[in-house]
Homo-oligomer: A and B are copies of this chain.
Amino acid sequence: MSDSSNVTESLPEGELLVETLDRPWERLEELAEAGDPEPLAAFLDSLSAGDQALALSRTDEAHHQLVLKTLPIGDAAELLRHLSESQAAEIIDSLTPEDAAAIFQEMPSDEQADLLGDLDEDQASAILQVLPDSEADAMRELAAYNDDVAGGLLVREILRFDRSTKVADVISTLSENADEFRDYDVQYAYLTDEHNRLVGVLPMRNLLFARRNDPVADIMIADPLSLLDTTPLDDLIDFFDTHHFLGVPVVDADGRLLGVVHRNAVDYEATRAAESDFLKSQGIIGEELRTMPLFQRASRRLSWLSINIVLNIGAAAVIAIYQDTLEKVIALAVFLPIISDMSGCSGNQAVAVSMRELSLGLVRPTEMLRVWLKEASVGLINGAALGLLVAIVAIVWDGNPYLGLVVGVALYANTLVAVSIGGTVPLLLKRFGFDPAVASGPLLTTVTDMCGFFLVLGLATAMLNRLI
């Protein structure tokens, strides 16, 4: 599990460090039962991150405990770090607080804080009680930040020196602790004053050319860029977009250095945010893994479905109003679901483009008119194409040109409505602080369904003598 920079030569494509076993969890259980740390660690090391996750997800709690107790503690921590947070939390919840605390101490502080928030509350407080007070306090402090601000993403494990330290002393500290510092992955040391306030950063390579007896303050970059602990994720993404740094120091309101947010952590959260938008748009709120208990999975999904069915029934009530028309022109019933589905498709395209433009900053939440004009023009073209197609189908099938006229015009007009709503609703939701990924879909579908049913059945009622 350790970073082994010198073990393997380049491997042929597709075999990248992967021992392709059909059922890696069986071998994992065997090795855990055998109880010998080395072959177990070596086996896990040979698996890809995906297969590690797979193997663990297919073994039971008893084996999780056995695997994590058998592995060298650093390897156990490393293993959990490769899993998704929900899977790692599931496994840590099944350990004794003592075992869990030991593994926690091997993790970088940002991941500790993240994971702590995902645990069962009882388990989390039990772990904090087992930990030394100073560590527990520090962990509580970081865990108090959300994942989406700088304070929740920082690592405290950084190279930190007083600005008066001599170059020679820094070099010897580095050399004596080379093994520990290798894991810090940083090219900078951070220099503070006597109140622990950040005063400068020191690019490690500057040490190469410095006089050994000078204080590091002489070769530091003074007044470096830093961010407040409350800086939100969007601004962090922006920061690393604009600057090439691998990390940025984070300070509190008094300028005291809290730690460093690494580019990795921000990129990781950005990917998670994008993935979670996809999941939320499809009605999965909160992480779901199929290893979770059945009733938890079912009830989480059901809460989203319940809202949708109520909205759906509301929209379908429009059909009930026009029951008389429908009774006389039963062919209309065939076209109602088509109008509803196709308007949903067109509208969701507009939702997707708006969400993307919002995330790229290409549109502001206040620019409803601009988006509406852009969408309406697409709606006019695509509505015409779809309306024409469905009109032809209706005429060919039913033989009555007026039926074609009604469903064609209705789909045309409703496509226009759908893209108008789909394009602008995410802006409106964002502006009023709602999450467009969760709420755009249901809102869109309800309004376009109602409107589509009104259009088809209202037009048909108006032209009823032509349709019978």
Bound: A404/B323 CA distance, A: 18
Tell me how far the C-beta of A239 lies from the nearest C-beta in chain B, rounded to whole angstroms. 6
Question: Which single residue of chain B is at the shortest CB-CB distance from A248?
Answer: B10
Bound: A187/B290 CA distance, A: 41
Decide: A228 near B289, CB < 8 A? Known: A49-B242, A301-B382, A338-B309: no
Bound: A116/B261 CA distance, A: 33
Q: Does A39 contact B (CB under 8 A)?
A: no
Interfacial chain B residues near A51, Cβ < 8 Å = 361
Whether the Cβ atoms of A361 and B267 lie closer than 8 Å is no
Interfacial chain B residues near A364, Cβ < 8 Å = 54
Question: Which single residue of chain B is at the shortest CB-CB distance from A84?
Answer: B360
Interfacial chain B residues near A11, Cβ < 8 Å = 227-228
Bound: A349/B305 CA distance, A: 9
Tell me how far the C-beta of A410 lies from the nearest C-beta in chain B, rounded to whole angstroms. 14
Whether the Cβ atoms of A225 and B284 lie closer than 8 Å is no
Interfacial chain B residues near A57, Cβ < 8 Å = 362
Q: Does A142 contact B (CB under 8 A)?
A: no
Interfacial chain B residues near A84, Cβ < 8 Å = 360
Bitwise, A314-353 to B at CB < 8 A (1) or not (0) is 0111011001001100110111111011101110110111
Interfacial chain B residues near A225, Cβ < 8 Å = 4-5, 7-8, 10
Interfacial chain B residues near A230, Cβ < 8 Å = 13
Interfacial chain B residues near A227, Cβ < 8 Å = 10-11, 16
Interfacial chain B residues near A362, Cβ < 8 Å = 50, 53-54, 57, 87, 289-291
Tell me how far the C-beta of A220 lies from the nearest C-beta in chain B, rounded to whole angstroms. 10
Interfacial chain B residues near A346, Cβ < 8 Å = 301, 305
Whether the Cβ atoms of A341 and B308 lie closer than 8 Å is yes
Question: Which single residue of chain B is at the shortest CB-CB distance from A14?
Answer: B235
Count residues of A near B (Cβ-Cβ below 8 Å): 143
Whether the Cβ atoms of A290 and B374 lie closer than 8 Å is yes
Interface 9-mer from A30-38, A94-102, A204-212: A204-212
Tell me how far the C-beta of A326 lies from the nearest C-beta in chain B, rounded to whole angstroms. 5
Q: Does A431 contact B (CB under 8 A)?
A: no
Tell me how far the C-beta of A125 lies from the nearest C-beta in chain B, rounded to whole angstroms. 29
Whether the Cβ atoms of B338 and A283 lie closer than 8 Å is no
Q: Does A130 contact B (CB under 8 A)?
A: no
Q: Does A432 contact B (CB under 8 A)?
A: no
Interface 9-mer from A67-75, A273-281, A458-466: A273-281
Q: List 24 A-B contacts (CB under 8 A).
A: A5-B201, A6-B224, A9-B223, A10-B226, A16-B235, A48-B361, A87-B362, A178-B205, A207-B208, A267-B268, A267-B271, A271-B271, A274-B274, A274-B275, A275-B359, A289-B362, A294-B381, A297-B378, A302-B386, A306-B385, A312-B341, A316-B338, A319-B337, A323-B331
**10 nearest A-B pairs in the assembled complex, by CB-CB distance:** A50-B361, A282-B352, A267-B267, A274-B274, A278-B278, A49-B241, A298-B381, A333-B333, A10-B226, A282-B348
Interface residues of A (CB under 8 A from B): 3-14, 16-17, 48-51, 53-54, 57, 82, 84, 87, 171, 174-175, 178, 183, 185, 187, 198, 201, 204-205, 207-209, 221-228, 230-232, 235, 238-239, 241-246, 251, 255, 263-264, 267-268, 270-271, 274-275, 277-279, 281-284, 288-291, 294-295, 297-298, 301-302, 304-306, 308-309, 312-313, 315-317, 319-320, 323, 326-327, 330-331, 333-338, 340-342, 344-346, 348-349, 351-353, 355-357, 359-364, 371, 374, 377-378, 381-382, 385-386, 389-390, 393, 397, 445, 449, 453
